[in-house]
């Protein structure tokens, strides 16, 4: 009987140790997940109409990614730039972010007009499709194009082509602080570009 009690106590002690180890392992995994969540911060994408409505409650500028499903540089922009933690954090804090398929089938209301894609073919969804009316209205002729809008939903300018995190940082900060209003010539932009010190990593 005494021997059985000794075995039980020893087993109980091992169980307590195991539980502590399990608890420590659980805390470790939880900490890792929380830190990974911080690293993998995502941009809070909304529709264009949602962004315009949000502006009425809390004015912010809009950054719109005009992409297509077949566009390689658009996928690179998603992977390398929009998933960058510094980019995601800055965009979420200072902009309403919109993804707009330049050849998609959305119905969009903007400035009193309704824009559609009358020639859209569902079977061509992953390939080149007809161009959306809003894409024409914004005079987007290359993908990706990042459109910037002011707090009233008026166009500031399009930025064409792939942008790495530091290149996008320049535009995000320039438009946020209305520095573009001070730039009147290509020479002035070149000077701003040269003087700009990027802070985003990656």
Pick 45-195's CATH classification: 3.40.1280.10, 1.20.120.1200, 3.40.30.10, 3.40.50.720.
3.40.30.10
Q: What is the pLDDT of residue 40?
A: 59
pLDDT in tens, 173-201: 999 999 999 999 999 999 999 999 999 99
- Mean pLDDT for 50-56 is 97
Q: What is the pLDDT of residue 20?
A: 56
- On the CB side of 201, how many CA atoms lie within 13 Å of its CA? 3
Which residue ranges make up each domain of the chain?
A: 1-40, 45-195
Residue with tokens 């194009």: 145
Average pLDDT, the chain: 86
Q: What is the pLDDT of residue 106?
A: 95
Locate the DSSP E strands across the chain: 45-46, 61-67, 95-101, 108-110, 113-115, 145-149, 155-160
Helix (H, G, I), strand (E, B) or coil at 34: helix
Report pTM.
Answer: 0.78
Question: To 10 degrees, what angle do helices 85-94 and 165-176 make?
Answer: 20
């Amino acid at each position: 009987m005494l021997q059985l009690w000794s075995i039980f106590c020893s087993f109980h002690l091992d169980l307590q140790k195991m539980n502590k180890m399990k608890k420590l392992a659980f805390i470790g995994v939880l900490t890792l997940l929380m830190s990974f969540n911080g690293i993998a911060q995502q941009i809070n994408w909304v529709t264009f109409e949602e962004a315009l409505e949000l502006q009425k409650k809390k004015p912010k500028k809009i950054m719109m990614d005009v992409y297509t499903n077949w566009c390689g540089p658009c996928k690179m922009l998603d992977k390398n730039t929009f998933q960058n933690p510094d980019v995601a954090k800055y965009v979420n804090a200072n902009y309403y972010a919109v993804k707009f398929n330049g050849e998609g089938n959305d119905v969009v209301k903007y400035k009193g007009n309704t824009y559609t894609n009358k020639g859209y073919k569902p079977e061509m969804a992953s390939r080149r499709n007809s161009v959306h009316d809003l894409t024409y209205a914004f005079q987007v002729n290359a993908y990706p194009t990042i459109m910037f809008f002011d707090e009233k939903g008026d166009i500031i300018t399009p930025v064409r082509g792939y942008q790495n995190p530091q290149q996008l940082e320049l535009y995000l900060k320039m438009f946020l602080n209305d520095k573009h209003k001070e730039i009147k010539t290509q020479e002035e932009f070149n000077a701003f570009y040269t003087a700009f010190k990027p802070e985003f990593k990656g």
